[in-house]
Chain A
């Protein structure tokens, strides 16, 4: 199901990108859809609250001292008693998992019971894990009967929202490099300069999106791993990828003869793309690292994980819309860049006549 929803976003993005010719002006309905999908992605990213079930939160809390996290639960029963020697009222709340029937656990509230604690209410609350009692203690309420709840993924937590922007950026870079390679082959076959224009424009945009993915990943790494740059396999591979494509632009700039420039850069673009699947999809998953989906992270990462409930339906849709909207944004930018290149060439030709 997860693969189907994410796959639909990817395929729809590619179909919409290619179908109205991507070298010409995009129709108004296309632009409207592109803007709409981006705002849907933003909505699905920021509006829902992040809430965890008991099992996941306990699993994370056992490894982190003084752990505080968001717990999503349904109030099943309330029991009040006085605790000695503090003489403060302590309420034991029997809570159930709102997503799964028949899974119960307990939560402790010190002091007055907040009014939102009514039987049957669904709440997201900030809770603290007490390792001695092995129970969660209530700190504050985050949401009451939330309509939309994002899952709590260990290692990501609230940062799961980054996924809807960071991963599509990296994906769009791969699509851009693939298009660049395809039109390089086409140029070598038919020797049309138009194809070379498309190939170079696509490689440029691919590099911009790869830089965006790297920068957004670095900011996340600072707060998750402790420093901006860790030479993690994922970071090393994208660094090598960027170096390969920087060399592509250096090559293009260093040749004056238009035909030689197009031919050599086309050959280089094809060779460069051979490394892309290996550097993006294979190497970071084969080596041990900090990035989700590395060889030592226990599972395939939140996207490819087959474990039930890693990503809920809402997060899967948000992610799918992320792919769709970023792919459309890329094709819009690509059409603009190609048209600017073509006009620029026509002006140069007119000046020479």
Chain B
């Protein structure tokens, strides 16, 4: 494996690019999940206020 990567250095770049994109997508997915939670919480809060009135 080490020898293969030493001879084909473009694949080292490929591994680095894949790791960066996995990191970016993980961050995006996390943001998406957190935002959805905030949205549903906020919606519930608004509904409660309307019911109280």
Contacts and interface: CB of A to CB of B under 8 A. Distances in A.
Given A31-B29, A46-B11, A46-B14, A25 B21 contact: no
Nearest to A24: B39
Contacts of A336: 28, 31-32, 35
23 contacts: A25-B32, A25-B35, A25-B36, A26-B32, A31-B29, A35-B25, A38-B21, A42-B14, A42-B21, A46-B10, A46-B11, A46-B13, A46-B14, A46-B17, A47-B14, A332-B32, A336-B32, A336-B35, A339-B39, A343-B35, A343-B38, A343-B39, A346-B42
Interface of B: 10-11, 13-14, 17-18, 21, 25, 28-29, 31-32, 35-36, 38-39, 42, 46
Contacts of A26: 32
Contacts of A31: 29, 32
Contacts, number: 39
A219 interface: no
A332 B14 CA distance: 24
A39 interface: yes
A42 B39 contact: no
B5 to A, nearest CB: 13
Interface of A: 25-26, 31, 35, 38-39, 42, 46-47, 332-333, 336, 339-340, 343, 346-347
B3 to A, nearest CB: 15
A339 B36 CA distance: 9
Contacts of A343: 35, 38-39, 42
